[in-house]
Each structure stands twice: as C-alpha cells, then as structure tokens.
A and B are shown apart, each in its own frame.
Chain A
Amino acid sequence: MSTSLEQRIPTIESIEAGLAGQGYITSRQIATALFLAVRLGKPILVEGPAGVGKTELAKATAGFLDLPLIRMQCYEGLDESKALYEWKYGKQLLYTQILKDKLGEQLRDAADLDEALGRLDKVDDIFFSERFLEPRPLLRALKEPKGCVLLVDEVDKADEEFESFLLEILSDYQVSIPELGTQYAKVIPIVLLTSNNTRDLGDAMKRRCLHLHIGYPDARREERIVATRIPHVQASLLRQLVHFVQQLRTQDLRKLPSVSETIDWARALILMNATQLDNQLVQDTLNVLLKFEGDMTSAGKLVGEMTHQALREAQGMAAK
C-alpha cells in the first residue's frame, strides 16, 4: 500500500493539483513537504499563525488520497489513556459477573488454591484481549488497514511528557501494550502535527519531523484561495479586498488577520451587496478582520488611506 501511495503521488505537482481539487491551494513548499513525508515516512510538524490552513491541510490531504482522517486534539492533561488505548473496564466487569457461574464450574473441582489460580491465569487472558480494548486515536491510526492521515492538532498545548510519549510512537510507528505485546503500524500513516507556538517544542521532536512553516500567503495565492472558497465573488472586489488585507498585515497589530478572516470578510461584503471597497464600508466591517479593540482603533485611522491604496493596486493589477 505504501508503494502504491507513492505511485499515486509521483511528483510534487501531482500533490499540488490533487489538493487544489479539494479546494486547498498550496504553495510549492507545502506540496514538497507531503511528498517527502510519504517517501521518508516522517511526520510533518506544521507551524504558523492561526487560521492559515494548518488543520485544513490535513483534511484536504485525507480527502485527496481518499484515506480516513484521524484527528487528535491536544490539550493540557492529555494522557495515554485518552490518546492511545483504554481497557473497557465496565465491560470487563460485566462479563466477569455474567460468566461467574461458568468460572465457578471451572474452578469447583480444583484440588487446591494453587490449581485454581493456575486455571484462572488461563482465563484472564480473555479479559485483556482486543475485545476489551478501546483504541484511542493513536492506536486507531496504527491499526488502520489502508493507512490514514493522523492529525495531532495543537501539539504545543499538550504537556512535555506527552510530547516525549508521542515521540516514541512517531519514530517507530509502534507501541507496546503490556498485556498484548507490541503493536506495529499496518501501514505507516501520514502524520501532521500542528503547533501555534504557544510554547517551544522540544528539540528531539523537531529533529524527527519535517518542519513546515505556513505563513500568510502572498496576494496572488490569497486571491486564489478566496476564489476557491467563494466562487461567486466578483473579480474586482476580490482583488481589492485581498490587497487591503495584505496591507493590514504590514501594520503593527496584536492579531493579524489571517486567511480565514479574509474569507469571512469576503462573505460579509458579498452579503452587504458590495461591489467595491469604500471607506465607510470598510470601517463598518472591520470587526470581521480584527479581533481586538486596540487593533480596531489603530487600524481604523488608516482605513481611508489603505482603501485608496488597495483600489489603486487592484486597478493596476487589472490593467496588466
């Protein structure tokens, strides 16, 4: 399967095209990262500001390669039993109750305690079998028969202990369950870890991963992204709004607008039946792009100028 996966994405261009088919406009570097991840069997650590499409990349990849997407959201306090596997304790207990009679029969003719224990030993393997195993995302990803895309979202939110635990699984794609032995991956999954840089990840983790940084897209790519998401947007309005957002990103703001906000803004503008940007319109809808009061006031002063500039640039682009 892994060879056929390689065959399915023979070139970097084929990945670009495939993801574009899923409505995800990549840069060359993103496509190269996927290309390498499949060939080297390495996880990709995706970093970058919020809302540039890190999670979206995993979804699009799964869609394009027709693989199941297994997602694990990280949070503080996440531990093995939530991430890897758990014994179905209740079910085990229930079965013991139901099988009580059966067990009594088995043990009745035992000569002494030792023999009874010996017989129990043979039975208790049943209670720690796959039947009572509750696989959590990581184990599920390993057991997926055709491979999968494993998305470990916001890995920086998890504790450092969990990070090192993750490291162990991701370096060998195997995990040992004491009662069952070592579980190997049937097919090496495509692993994407995302991080918003709330804390620095360990060196060991970074060393084992391909490191992909997705920044804000340039105007051309952003236009393509918005156009794929909102097909009915007018070309002239699209150019103007993208240029405006691009300018806004050069300002010193607490939270820069990202692609998802550009898309939201475009939707809002269309709902307001706008055909082109003007000062008042931008002022009224600025809260879609900016999420802090301070940002709103500091950017608000420049709106007129930036709108004018965006209109000019968009016109220049159209003229070309």
Chain B
Amino acid sequence: MSGSMPGSMPGRMGTVEPPQSSDMLLRLLRVARGAGVRISVAESLDAFESANAVGFQDRQALKDALTLTIAKTVEEKQIFEKCFDTYFKRDSAPLGGKPGDPPHAPAASERQPGEAEGEAQGEGEGGGAASNLGQMLLNNDMAGLAAAMERAAEEAGATNITLFTQTNLFARRILDRMGLPELER
C-alpha cells in the first residue's frame, strides 16, 4: 500500500502548493472542529459564502465573519478565535519557507518513524512545533494542539490512509511530526 502513496502525493501536493484560499478555509474548519467547535456541513458552506463576501484581504473582517457564521456560543467563539489566531500565526510566520516544504513532506512519509525526527528538525518549521508541544500540553492549548495535529497529519499524508490497520502507523507518524520524540527524551 505504501508503494502507491508517494506516487499520489506529489500530485495532491501540487494542487495545494499555491496556498488557495478555499483550501486554507477547509483546513481551518477542520482545525476548529478538532478543537471542539461544532460545525455542520451547512455551516461550512455558509463559512465559504461569508468569506467570499468579506474577502480574504482583511484578516480581522474574515475572522469576524467566520466567527459569526460558525461559532454559536460564547465558548465556541473563544475557541474559534484562538484557532484562527494560531492558524494564521503559523501560516504567516514560515511563509517564505512554505513553498519549499511540500516536496520534502511526501518523502518523509515514506521513511521510518525514527528518521522523521531528523526531518522535523531540518524543516525548522517542524522544529518550532516540537519545542512547543510540551508547552501546548501544559497550557491545555486545544486550539494550538489541533492546529499542530492538522499540520502534522497533512505532512504525514493522513488523507491517503486506506486500511484501518494503518491507523496506528499514521498516528505514530503524526505524533512524531508533532514532536513527541523530543518530548520523550
């Protein structure tokens, strides 16, 4: 199964490479769901409509619009706003290195979990996450964890999972990318 994976990865990554706003929004929604905001399919559609209405240029307007559309309680609003901030913090910080990253990622998903650690440090972006993992756990930072998990899953190619027996393998890969080895050391 893993033989077919690298073949399909670059193609998928190719479509992601210019960071498209719709992709960005989908991932953000997934992060928010992971952090505990309940979002129905209809609400996701609404989120797209609102984002189109306010545009992607003005980040504050986008944040307000999405919060209005998606989060339906005060608690959800707080969680979502945190997700949003975390999401864009990591999105804007490594912006320069971002286009270069995807080519490494598919290769990394092939390797043994042990090697992934070196990869994470090499990437720089991943290295930052590694030192953050402990911090996020200590602070009970759900939004941050969800964002990190989402990114790690992206890198490990979790969407390519086909057999349920692969669950553990991918879980391990995601944990590695989130910086578990450093935490265990």
Cβ of A177 under 8 Å from chain B: no
Q: Which of B49, B68, B77 is in CB contact (< 8 Å) with A32?
A: B68
Residues of A within 8 A of B42 (CB): 207-208
Once the chains bind, are B69 and A32 in contact (CB under 8 Å)?
A: no
Chain B positions 45-79 with a Cβ under 8 Å from a chain A Cβ:
46, 49-50, 53-54, 60-61, 64-65, 67-69, 71-74, 77
Cβ of B40 under 8 Å from chain A: yes
Chain A positions 205-246 with a Cβ under 8 Å from a chain B Cβ:
206-208, 210-213
Closest Cβ of chain B: how far from A287's Cβ, in Å? Answer: 30
Cβ of B43 under 8 Å from chain A: yes
Chain A positions 132-153 with a Cβ under 8 Å from a chain B Cβ:
none
Assuming the contacts A12-B61, A32-B54, asked whether A211 and B68 have C-beta atoms less than 8 A apart, the reply is yes
Residues of B within 8 A of A47 (CB): 74
Q: Which of B53, B61, B64 is in CB contact (< 8 Å) with A39?
A: B53
Bound CA span A39–B55, Å? 13
Interface of B is mostly: helix
Residues of B within 8 A of A39 (CB): 49, 53
Task: Count how many pairs of residues, one from A and one from B, have CB atoms less than 8 Å apart in the complex.
Answer: 49
Contact digits for A169-212, partner B, Cβ 8 Å, 1 yes 0 no: 00000000000000000000000000000000001001110111
Closest Cβ of chain A: how far from B85's Cβ, in Å? Answer: 15
Residues of A within 8 A of B40 (CB): 207
Q: List residues of chain A with CB under 8 Å of any chain B CB.
A: 12, 28-29, 32-33, 35-36, 39-40, 42, 44, 47, 203, 206-208, 210-213
- What are 16 A-B interface contacts by the 8 Å CB criterion? A12-B54, A12-B61, A29-B67, A29-B68, A36-B53, A36-B54, A36-B68, A39-B53, A40-B46, A47-B74, A203-B72, A207-B42, A210-B69, A211-B77, A213-B74, A213-B77
